[in-house]
Every structure is written in C-alpha cells, then in structure tokens.
C-alpha cells in the first residue's frame, strides 16, 4: 500500500492542511485563483518553503535529498518548460535508455495521440497542448509514486483530455501510484477523482 500523509502543512496563506492519499486514489482539488492551489503542490514537491510533515509511506520528505524526493513526488506544472531544440534531447537526459523505458515511452506516445516521429519534432513548433502531454510523459520517466498535476488539461481539447485522463489513471493503476489533481473543471474532477477537496480561505475542505 502506498500512502502520502500530509500533516499540519503550513505555507504562505494556508495553515494546517491535513490530507491522506492512498494507492490509486486521485484527490481532486479546486479553489479560486490565488487561493494557493499551485503553492500547495509546490510545497509537496519541496519547491516552496513550508512547515509541517509530509510522509510518503515511511519516508519523511526532509530526510532525503530534495531531488530524490522530487523523483518520487513529481509535479507537472501548468506551464512546462523546454530548453533544448528538440523533443528527443529532453527525454534522453532523464532516460536510462533501457528496453522498459523505451517501450513505456512508445506506448505513451501512441496513447496520448502522437505519431512515431514526435521525438524529432522541434520545440519551437509544439503547441501548448502538445507541451502539456509531452510534459507528462517526460515526468513519468522517473516512475514517480505520487503525481501532482496542476491544471494539466487546461490547454487540451475534449478528445485529448480524454486520452490524458485515461493515461494517467492507467499509470496510477499499473504503478500503484496516487495523484493530486488540481483543476477548474468540476465535471472533470467529479469524473476522475476518488475524493474532492477545495481550498477556501486557507483551509482545505472535503467536498466529496
């Protein structure tokens, strides 16, 4: 069993957030802009200063190096960044290029609606929706146990949103992982999440 246990988490505007997310669960999180949803995810990935305890299974966030934690608890931000010229270079840097990884990637590309030559595409011609879908695959190369998704389908059309949701849910099932999914689309959150939360005035409210 996997368990992400958040105890008395405090950051910028929020104090004392408690939350548990278990294997294959998706916690759907909404809230007004500026309510601190993104900061919450950044604190979980240890990219933002915070107080309180965040424990993955038996592992305390502060007990391992930050970059190792981020490989286990992976944040997909609303805007992904790309710094090399082609898609391939971004994947090469993280991959150990064994057969499993390659198979996973090829499966991912086709599941998310990309053709086989996507690796050769130049970053300059990617649309924001393509960046979001490729950003997910790039992140999943680390085989994270927890996925933190910050409005991951904001730039996707209906068809690609469905592909994206199905792919994430399948990943959680295959890897016994769990996710926190931040979004504005209440229908979507209803559809994919196993429990629903909202951040209101610095408090995390269960709205399942």
Residue 162 binds other proteins (CB under 8 A): no
* 8/11 Cα distance (integer angstroms): 10
- Give me the least distance between CB of 66 and other proteins, in Å please: 4
Q: With CB under 8 A as the rule, give the number of residues binding other proteins.
A: 25
Residue 67 binds other proteins (CB under 8 A): yes
Backbone angles phi, psi at 26, to 5 degrees: -125, 120
Q: Which residues contact 18 (CB under 8 A, 6 or more apart)?
A: 6, 7, 8, 9, 204
Residues 129-148 that bind other proteins (CB under 8 A): 138-139, 142
Residue 83 binds other proteins (CB under 8 A): yes
Backbone angles phi, psi at 111, to 5 degrees: -65, -30
* 108/98 Cα distance (integer angstroms): 15
Q: Report the residue from 37, 70, 133, 196 that binds other proteins according to the rule CB under 8 A.
A: 70
* 18/11 Cα distance (integer angstroms): 12
Q: Report the residue from 33, 58, 63, 81 that binds other proteins according to the rule CB under 8 A.
A: 81
CB of 133 within 8 A of CB of 179? Answer: no
Q: Report the residue from 47, 78, 123, 207 that binds other proteins according to the rule CB under 8 A.
A: 47
- Give me the least distance between CB of 54 and other proteins, in Å please: 12
**Which residues bind to other proteins, rule: CB under 8 A?**
45-49, 62, 65-68, 70-71, 74-77, 79-83, 94, 138-139, 142
């Amino acid at each position: 069993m996997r368990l992400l246990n958040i105890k008395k988490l405090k950051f910028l505007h929020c104090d004392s957030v408690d939350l548990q997310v278990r294997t294959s669960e998706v916690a759907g999180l909404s809230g007004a802009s500026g309510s601190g949803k993104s900061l919450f995810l950044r604190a979980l990935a240890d990219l933002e200063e915070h107080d309180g305890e965040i424990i993955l299974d038996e592992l305390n966030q502060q007990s391992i190096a930050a970059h190792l934690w981020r490989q286990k608890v992976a944040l997909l931000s609303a805007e992904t960044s790309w710094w090399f010229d082609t898609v391939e270079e971004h994947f090469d840097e993280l991959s150990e290029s064994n057969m499993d990884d390659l198979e996973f990637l090829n499966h991912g590309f086709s599941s998310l609606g990309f053709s086989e030559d996507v690796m050769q595409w130049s970053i300059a011609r990617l649309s924001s929706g393509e960046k979001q879908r490729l950003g997910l695959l790039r992140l999943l190369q680390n085989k994270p146990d927890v996925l933190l998704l910050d409005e991951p389908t904001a730039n996707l059309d209906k068809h690609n949103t469905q592909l994206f949701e199905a792919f994430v849910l399948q990943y959680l099932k295959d890897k016994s992982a769990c996710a926190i999914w931040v979004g504005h689309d209440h229908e979507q959150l209803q559809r994919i999440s196993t429990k629903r939360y909202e951040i209101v005035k610095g408090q995390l409210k269960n709205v399942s």
